[in-house]
Structure formats: C-alpha cells, structure tokens
C-alpha cells in the first residue's frame, strides 16, 4: 500500500491499495478513524485513481467534517466507562478511583492515557469473562479461551475451536451492549452462522437484543474516538 495526500487545507492522507477482487475504483472514509482508502482494480494505473480522488475531493472533505473530533485522554479530558462520561482528574494514592463523574488517576499526568487504558482493559476482561461464563453455562457448552483486542471491523468473534475474541473498547459502551456482544459470540459455540436459529439462540440465552444491537450500529464508532497513547 502507498500513501498519497489530497492537497489543500488541511492536507488529507490517503492510502492507495490495489485489489484483485475490485471491479472498479472505490473510495472509502472509515467511520472509526477517518482513514481515507482509495482502492484500485488490478491493472488500473495509479494516476487514474488519483484523478478520481481529485474529482471526489469535496465528498471526502464532507465525510471528514461530519466526524466527531478525536479525544486524547489526559488531564481534563473525558472518557467513557460503561456508558458514563467521566472527567479525567489528578488522583492520589496508587490506584485509579471512579466516583462522582470523575476518574482520578494517580501518578505523572503524561502517563494518564496509558494508565486509563490499562484500567479499562482489566475491567473489560473481568466483565466479559463473567458474561461469557454466564452465557456458556446457559448454553451448556464451554469456550476454550478469551482474547481481548482493539479491533476495527468487529466487536467480537468466536472460532470453530471455541475461542472468543472481544474488543476491549466494549467496556466504554453501556453494560447492556457488552452483555449483548458476549451473548452473541457465545451463541456461536453452537450456531456458527447468522441464520434464524442463531438469533433464536441469542434471545434464549440473552433475552431481547434489538436495543443494544441498534446502539452499536448507531453509536459504536464513538468508542474509537478515544486515544490513550501516542
């Protein structure tokens, strides 16, 4: 992949890639991080793709202007925890404390982002582990392990060997959303598809799921606004 820039103010970095599966030139602006990707079918000259990019400059800038600004987590910033907006403040002692709409972080301010991220990951592992255990018990099937990642394209997955993967950023969503994703992935232990029987199984072990599922579709991208380290 090569990188070019859409010149102007501000300049916009654009990743140019070639795909053997692409049938036409396409342009995508990621809803998660604003990354602009220009995809060319194999055999199409890069110059032709860049000409297409120039023609679509107004559309690209409109898409980017509609995105919420990223948040660098540090003193005075906010961060989400289980759907609540907390202000990051200087704390005392050795542990992070959450109370009264604030998350108090001890230590050097330049390390706040990293420390908050570690705290969120630990909490995510505990919450997702407990939820997965509960749904697996209702299903009557064990899973093999749980892995946490910072994924862009999915909130969770279940392998054919029963390994569960979740995005740790789910801890920033309302707890009902985290519970839904855990129930969804555990249901894949029995149904490795998204057919009618799968959704019946999700409702059986989790309960109604349309509200948290809709929340992810409408608000999930906001969880990727938060940046914790350079």
60 and 88 housed in the same domain: no
- Whether the predicted pLDDT of 32 surpasses 70: no
User: Does residue 70 form part of some domain?
Assistant: no
Q: Which domain holds residue 56?
A: 2-65
Q: Whole-angstrom Cα distance, residue 54 to residue 60?
A: 9
State whether residue 146 is helix, strand or coil. strand
Q: How many domains does the chain have?
A: 2
142 and 83 housed in the same domain: yes
Q: Whole-angstrom Cα distance, residue 26 to residue 33?
A: 18
* Better pLDDT: 9 or 116: 116
46 and 115 housed in the same domain: no
How confident is the prediction for the chain on average, in pLDDT? 93
32 and 142 housed in the same domain: no
Dmax over CA atoms of the chain, in Å, equals 61
49 and 103 housed in the same domain: no
Q: Whole-angstrom Cα distance, residue 209 to residue 181?
A: 9
User: Nearest CA to 66 among 38, 39, 30?
Assistant: 30
Least confident of 50-64, 91-105, 112-126, 127-141: 50-64
Looking up residue 191, the CATH number of its domain turns out to be 3.30.2010.10
Strands 226-227 and 26-29 turn out to be: unpaired
């Amino acid at each position: 992949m090569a990188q070019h820039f859409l010149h102007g103010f501000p300049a916009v970095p654009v990743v140019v890639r070639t795909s053997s599966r692409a049938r036409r030139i396409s342009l995508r602006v990621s809803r998660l991080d604003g990354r602009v990707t220009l995809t060319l079918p194999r055999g199409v000259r890069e110059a032709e793709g860049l000409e297409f990019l120039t023609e679509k400059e107004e559309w690209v800038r409109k898409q980017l202007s509609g995105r919420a600004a990223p948040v660098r987590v540090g003193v005075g910033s906010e961060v989400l925890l289980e759907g609540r907006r907390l202000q990051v403040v200087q704390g005392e002692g050795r542990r992070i404390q959450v109370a009264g709409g604030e998350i108090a972080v001890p230590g050097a301010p330049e390390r706040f982002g990293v420390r908050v991220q570690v705290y969120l990951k630990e909490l995510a592992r505990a919450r997702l582990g407990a939820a997965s255990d509960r749904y697996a018990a209702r299903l009557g099937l064990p899973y093999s392990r749980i892995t946490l990642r910072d994924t862009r394209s999915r909130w969770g997955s279940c392998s054919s060997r029963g390994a569960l993967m979740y995005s740790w950023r789910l801890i920033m969503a309302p707890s009902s959303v985290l519970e839904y994703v855990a129930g969804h992935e555990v249901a894949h232990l029995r149904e490795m598809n998204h057919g009618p029987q799968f959704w019946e199984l999700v409702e059986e072990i989790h309960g109604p799921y349309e509200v948290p599922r809709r929340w992810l579709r409408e608000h999930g991208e906001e969880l990727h606004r938060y940046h914790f380290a350079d």
